[in-house]
Amino acid sequence: MFNTQDLYIINIYFPEESSDGFYNEPGIYPVSKLLSEMLAFSEKWQGNYYKGSWEFQFLTTLKELLSKENLKKFSIQLPTKDDQRLNAVTDRLRNQLHEKLTLENTAKESGMSVRSLTRLFQTKLHITFIQYIKMLRIIRAMELIKDTDLNMTEITYEVGYSNIAAFSNNFHQLTNMRPTEFRVMSRI
């Protein structure tokens, strides 16, 4: 989304067994450096691996680590639609994230009325403009926290907040953890 790193979706299927409830619900989870390296190591593998092979043992270990790391599921994701006008607006927002973003200015820059832009977000994405900006900023902050050594004050300003308390509170509201907790968890 922000061109910091590529997003990889990896599906690993295991024979059905009685398992921890962790595996019963799909979700988005931040992973530790260890799990990230394990996934990177196995990403070029293709095909089926059966019990007894070292690949199967490796993937079983990865599966067990997932449930043991006490990962916190994120319900934060940006809605998207194939709408040319909306995509132009959301691209502009991503590129101007560090600036003060208002509905009025964004509508004007997009050649729309405030009412039309409001309706576009409501009908296409089912969220408000403000909700979208908030989620966009927090997702970008998560990327910066995980992928850079910027301190929290620098990240606060980089994602468009003018005060660290507001940033921390919004981050907590959407992720159920503070930015510093997320940094510690993402660096394990």
Q: What is the pTM of this model?
A: 0.64
Q: What percent of the chain has pLDDT over 90?
A: 39
CA 73 to chain centre: 11
Region for residue 70 given its phi and psi (left: phi exceeds 0; alpha: psi -120 to 50; beta: otherwise): left
Q: In CATH, what number does 84-187 get?
A: 1.10.10.60
Q: Helix or strand or coil: residue 31?
A: coil
pLDDT of 10-43, one tens digit each?
666 666 665 666 666 556 666 677 887 888 888 8
Which residues belong to CATH 1.10.10.60 in the chain?
Answer: 84-187
Share of the chain above pLDDT 70, in %: 76
- Kindly report the three-state secondary structure assignment for every residue of 62-109: HHHHHHHCCCCCECCCCCCCCCHHHHHHHHHHHHCCCCCCCHHHHHHH
Q: Are 39 and 31 in contact (CB under 8 A)?
A: yes
> Which residue bears the tokens 């990896």?
10
Average pLDDT over all residues of the chain: 82
Burial of 73 (0-12, 13-18, 19+ CB in 10 A): middle
What does the pLDDT read at residue 4? Answer: 44
Integer Cα distance of 153 and 115 in angstroms: 34
pLDDT tens readout for residues 106-128: 999 999 999 999 999 999 888 89
Q: Who wins on pLDDT, 165 or 37?
A: 165
> Using CA atoms, how far apart are residues 53 and 71, in angstroms rounded to an integer?
28
Contacts of 43 (CB under 8 A, 6+ apart): 8, 10
